Chains A and B, each alone.
Chain A
């Protein structure tokens, strides 16, 4: 795609104020010179069950300005924009738009108010054309029938104005992720959008496409649109930000003009929290090499010209916890899945376990070699919810527990009772369906399943996600016990304090590639976060 020159963009921008269905009222048009307040959110709070994910957050969106919403994973950014976008309708606090108090009751209602949100998960219908998608839910009709020609014409005009080259008659399912992203943006702008919110819009885009998007953003700014932009990439923040609001643990750290918030200070705002004694980690007694990876890649799909995981070299010793740092899209989970054989043979490079080549074929083959993977979503990929605790815990070890194929109920019960005691699992009975257990106890069942297989290498993907503080502590202690027994652990966690406190070493990935490695002493939240955002500041090589 050609990059639009700034000059033509200015021209396009001037022209499209007249022609785009972007209706700007008088107040907004006059305000382009001196930005006017479009949206003011005050004292926003939101709970998910017992967890307070947002607490007293204020957000102001001005016309003609890009507001960056920054924060770690789980800081509450997505929740905040989902409230603005009408996805979460139960919250505390006030939202004012154009001086009027509103409460978006659905995504459609938010659209009608002039707020369009482009979420990370695209909301397109793959089987329909670009034009159909752009007009989805508000089709142009003639006497009740969809007027295809009018839709195509208008969609084409819209895309031309935005400088997007796309065939409007093509099915969305056949487009690249980047093209789908652009379709999504066009869809948002086809409505009378005054506020456009983008949640990590560039995660799937290549460099020229990112340039195109930035051109669009400049264009929209000139028209007086208010933009909210969520990103984990420092470079993008520096390029597009006018103002930055930082969230941390659901609270607002502060808002400042971009010029007053250089990267170092921004990261400090994002991280700045004391690490208490909540993470017990005993000194590691490391032994021989358990896992060695040499230029290991996972070949499941290419994004922007790279494999999801590319050329990872790393080493995990017996009794060691190696943490993998990275933000969304870092490829860390894919690395673990690839190692575990979940993607079959679609891997490249060398992997050795205990000095012998690791055969990567299927999860079964991995389990038989002493590898276990706790997946990051226990309900979707970890547990069989309708089955009992007993059935779940024994599932991965059935070949050993049922020699010759016939199960030995007594043997299974003894094994599961032992693990259940070790993990202090609280379940009414072992016959209970795991779907009825609390999150923490479900996680213990998932862990017990893997301990039952007698692993030597434990791959833990978000082992404490969605469980309460007490259960978290128990998981940390279990990890200590396991490493003391000589098990090696590769750990992914999106909670930075947890990563820093539990890992003996940390390697950081950014978009599938290694960016830095830190020893326990070297690792600080600022350094890890900077590396995860793509700044290659790694001080030591990956393998030591």
Chain B
């Protein structure tokens, strides 16, 4: 980092480019232009396409919001995909098999997510295990939990009777609600959940003491500690909130698929990290924000949608996504 006197004021363009939000906007703009060029017979200009893009991006966006918190605090959470699967299974079991009402099952699922995050956060903060390792362990463990709870099978509306025959039960109301659309069918409930959660996290980060402490400990943990920041508590809380958001994502996923798949969410943690980094939150910690992650979510979501409406094969899609992530991150580094 260069040290300069403030009097050396850079040009307006340089300052604009130095602002991570404008870079994230630029990336999104480029992707949208891409969509306008490769519109796949006007498909990109239909409202339904955008509605679907937002709906499909919502689950990833939820995970990315939690990931952003943890990354700002200087950590990483690899367990979100597994926690998502575990909660999806648990939510399906509670709602379909056990017939729990949503006012009971939803808080229970949130608690499960919080517990998973709490364990990895506690191991990281108190026992000083590197977050990569602690959450890697939780990633494996939660996947095991999901498979144990589900018995290795998808938990669907086909319920096995005592005699061993399958019968289909009705999809629970809470599933149907989450999977529905409101405002004349223009906004998916899942998208709404994502936006509300993102807003809550944004308020915490921007206005709560804890948000400031998180930035501080991500920027320089020792300096934060010597400034009286309760480093361990703040760190723990970031993993707990990340776990809760993964639980929300898991419930959304279960509702959309109408089942709890113990194999769900594999690799989602990496997408969440990619979204966070695309937005401009640095992996080193201390810099970034939820606004940036929202832009990152839109960028990755639209990119995926544009590639899929143009019927680009999945193999090519994956390679292109990889290249675009690297280019985006390199572009961010140049300005520092």
Contacts and interface: CB of A to CB of B under 8 A. Distances in A.
Interface of A: 340, 342, 362-364, 366-368, 373, 375, 380-387, 391, 394-396, 398-399, 402, 405-407, 409, 426-428, 432, 435-439, 449
Interface residues of B, number: 29
A381 B216 contact: no
A496 B10 CA distance: 41
A399 B209 contact: yes
26 contacts: A342-B226, A363-B225, A364-B229, A368-B228, A384-B216, A384-B219, A384-B223, A384-B224, A385-B1, A385-B220, A395-B224, A395-B227, A395-B228, A395-B229, A398-B209, A398-B212, A402-B208, A406-B207, A409-B207, A426-B6, A427-B6, A428-B6, A436-B3, A436-B6, A437-B3, A437-B6
Contact of B215 (A391, A432, A435): A391
A432 B207 CA distance: 18
Interface string B2-43: 111111010000000000000000000000000000000000
A320 B232 CA distance: 36
A23 to B, nearest CB: 46
A363 B1 contact: no
Contacts, number: 99
Interface of B: 1-7, 9, 207-210, 212-213, 215-216, 219-220, 222-230, 286-287
B222 A381 contact: yes
A367 B228 CA distance: 7
Nearest to B288: A386
B212 A395 contact: yes
A406 B206 CA distance: 10
Q: Which of B5, B208, B223 has the most CB of A within 10 A?
A: B223
A362 B225 CA distance: 9
B209 A387 contact: no
Given A406-B208, A432-B6, A398 B213 contact: yes
Contacts of A342: 225-226
Contacts of B207: 406-407, 409
A382 B223 contact: yes
A396 B5 contact: no
Given A380-B222, A381-B222, A384-B219, A436 B212 contact: no
B157 to A, nearest CB: 43
Given A406-B208, A407-B207, A435 B1 contact: yes
B237 to A, nearest CB: 11
Given A406-B208, A406-B209, A387 B219 contact: yes
Nearest to B219: A384
Contact of A439 (B3, B215, B223, B227): B3
Contacts of B220: 380-381, 383-385
A17 B210 CA distance: 66
B168 to A, nearest CB: 48
B308 to A, nearest CB: 37
A407 B208 contact: yes
A380 B226 contact: no
B224 A375 contact: no
Contact of A405 (B6, B208, B222, B225): B208
A380 B221 CA distance: 9
Contacts of A367: 227-228
B335 to A, nearest CB: 13
Contact of B219 (A363, A375, A386, A396): A386
Contacts of B216: 384, 387, 391, 395
A396 B287 contact: no
B3 A438 contact: yes
A387 B216 CA distance: 7
B215 A387 contact: yes
